Amino acid sequence: MTTGRAAGGPLAVAGHCLEGPGSSGDVRQALRVLTGERGWPYHHNPDVGHAFVSSPCGLVHAGYLPDHHWPWKLDVTDGPFQLPRWRAEFSPQTPPVVVAAILDTVARTLESDPDRLTGTTRDVAEATCVLAAAGWKTEHTDIRTTLTSPKPRAGLAGLSIQRHPEPWQDPDLDRYEDTIVLWCGTEDSPDRWSVDFTRDTPMHLVAAATRVLVEPLAPLVPHRAPSPRMAAARRRPSLTDPARRPPEPPAAGQGTPSRAEAPRPAR
């Protein structure tokens, strides 16, 4: 797996970002980041291929809905039964290996420091530091900060962070406005994919997500015992029984994402 480094030049775009949506087996492998050694409860609807995974503490929810315009969903809440603090949605063409890397980052943060999952930070520099260090081009406007990939794959990928409302938006950005967008692929290409994060996504998680664009993905190591803080988090009320090990995702019944990305419906 290559990093896209030109001879003597900066990092461009990692090869795994151009692999496309893969197969249903790749989808299952992405979810195994949470359902494997971590043993997060898993729910599957074979009639429509929907799959849902939730953390034992009830704070993190991930799902794959192949019949939706944005099939991958990730929600993080302040507590069970509460509305999401922030969410991320992945377009159909997003490679499952990219989804897996982001899910693993969220799970590791939940295990090591759960409060960081819901802490609101607005430090744009914290979100852009990985790409800036890789030599990506940075552009600032009154409304947003945008970073795009350098040579030899200039403009093939990028990160856009909206800092202030557009003229047509409310003076205060809504909690669920998709203000942070990570994308890869040429504009108007059917292979283009993107990840949309809402306003309150912690910036250190955005920075972790950007690493999938410029660094090779290391093999996921076996999960270790949770920290005392995670053990305490597991004791919070939950809709599921933490002691019950979930079944492995089934070998069939999960649809393959459509190769053509449909326009995103209005929220």
Residue 235 lies in a domain: no
Residue 192 lies in a domain: yes
Residue 74 lies in a domain: yes
Average pLDDT, the chain: 79
What DSSP assignment string belongs to 171-237? Answer: SS--TT-EEEEEEES-TT-TT-EEEEEETT--HHHHHHHHHHHHSPPPPPPPPPPPPHHHHHHHTS-
Q: Is the pLDDT of residue 220 over 60?
A: no
Confidence band, pLDDT 50/70/90 cuts, at residue 76: very high
Mean pLDDT to the nearest integer, 31-43? 93
Residue 244 lies in a domain: no
Q: Is the pLDDT of residue 226 over 70?
A: no
Mean pLDDT to the nearest integer, 251-259? 45
Residue 9 lies in a domain: no
Residue 186's pLDDT is what?
Answer: 86
Q: What percentage of the chain exceeds 70 in pLDDT?
A: 75
What DSSP assignment string belongs to 97-112? Answer: HHHHHHHHHHHHHHHH
Q: What is the spatial distance between Cα 252 and Cα 238, in angstroms, rounded to a whole number?
A: 29
Residue 236 lies in a domain: no
Residue 210's pLDDT is what?
Answer: 92
The 10s digit of each residue's pLDDT in 152-209 is 888 899 999 998 888 888 888 888 888 999 999 988 888 899 999 998 999 888 998 8
Confidence band, pLDDT 50/70/90 cuts, at residue 112: very high
Structural domain total, the chain: 1
Residue 224 lies in a domain: no
Residue 218's pLDDT is what?
Answer: 62
DSSP H/E element including 144:
strand 144-148
The 10s digit of each residue's pLDDT in 11-20 is 688 888 877 7
User: First CA to last CA across the chain, in angstroms?
Assistant: 37
Residue 206 lies in a domain: yes
Give me the domain span that covers residue 148. 15-216
Question: Which of 63-72, 110-119, 167-176 is least confident?
Answer: 167-176
